[in-house]
Structure 1
Amino acid sequence: MTVIDANNLILGRMASAVAKRILEGEKINIVNAEKAIISGRKVATYDRYKQYADRGRDFGPYFPKRPDQIVKRTIRGMIPYKRAGGKEAFKNLKVFIGVPGELSQQETSTIENANISRLSTINYTVLGEMSKKLGSKV
């Protein structure tokens, strides 16, 4: 079981690396999901996620507002989750807000090519801030 700290990691790059690893059968726990980064202008990013969240208000498809669920949904979009292999792989993934007690003693790893230092711009949004704007209570 691998524990990945999402602090200052770009969401899409982290998600693609994690998706590949869970498809190979590795069990992964992601901690500090609220500290992940989404690159791009804050207003444009918020508008895009607000459109996703409002689209399924009454009948679906429902889009999450909590940071841990947004990370999980992003990774789900990168695997064939409607097929048996994808469903089994998706069960190998757990995402947490903060660091839960049982994982606090374990060593965390990071994904080097998903680090915020790879951004060539200062335009980015922290997932936790955007989640609060969307109406998340966490």
Structure 2
Amino acid sequence: MPGAILRCRCGERDIDSIVSQVLGRVAVKAANLLRGKEKTVFTPHVDTGDFVIVVNADKVRVTGKKEEQKTFMNFSGYVGGHKSENVRARRARHPELLIERAVRGMIPHNRLGRSVYRKLKVYRGDTHPHAAQQPAPVKLR
């Protein structure tokens, strides 16, 4: 399985290849599945979404010069505790954070958003511990 988005719908998960897909498109699809926006029973204040598992997070691509120019900044709270890294360094160190951070920005920043975000699982390689749920495909555009 090259790269995947998996979705849990009443106990089953769906998969599709995300290899060489653009980061934003993968994040939008994952956020919509997490919120349940593609369901007929979608209600904005109720968590009707599915579990989403993204596999091969290190194979997702970014467009333009973002690989070198986009920076992620952290501050530890201590004097001189500012750290920054670009997409290339973050992909080498922890590629799951690229997708997790993009999806987190697309869901609500409140209690509902936190419960939705807990249902997102992102894995670096093409293996995941959810094989018992028998994944099936989800189409990305």
Whether 2:129 is the aligned partner of 1:111: answer no
Q: Which runs of 5+ in 1 are unaligned?
A: 114-138
1:26/1:86 CA distance change after superposition, 3 Å: same
Tell me, yes or no, if structure 1 residue 36 matches structure 2 residue 60: yes
Shift in CA distance, 96/3, structure 1 to aligned 2, threshold 3 Å: farther
Deviation (angstroms), 1:9: 1.6
- TM-score computed with the length of structure 2 as normaliser: 0.62
Partner residue of 2:119? Answer: 92
Higher strand share: 2
SS in 2 for 1:37: coil
Measured against aligned partners, the alpha-carbon deviations of 1:53-94 in whole angstroms (never above 9, x if no partner) come to xx32554698792111111111101111x3011111101100
Q: Distance in 1 between matches of 2:136 and 2:60?
A: 15
Greater fraction of residues in helix: 1
Q: Any unmatched runs of 5+ in structure 2?
A: 1-7, 37-48
Tell me, yes or no, if the aligned pair for 1:3 and 1:31 is still in contact at 8 Å.
no
Q: Is 1:45 the equivalent of 2:66?
A: yes
Q: Whose RCO is larger (CA < 8 A, sep 6+)?
A: 1
Deviation at 1:8, TM superposition (A): 2.1
- Aligned mates of 1:57, 1:79 — CA distance in 2: 23
CA RMSD of aligned residues (A): 2.7
Distance 1:101 1:27, change over 3 A: closer
The aligned amino acid for 1:91 is R
Contact kept, 8 Å, 1:14 with 1:111, in 2: the verdict is no
Identity %: 24
Please tell me whether Structure 1 or Structure 2 has the larger radius of gyration of its CA atoms. 2
TM-score for the superposition, normalised by structure 1: 0.63
| Secondary structure in structure 2 of the residue aligned to 1:38 | coil
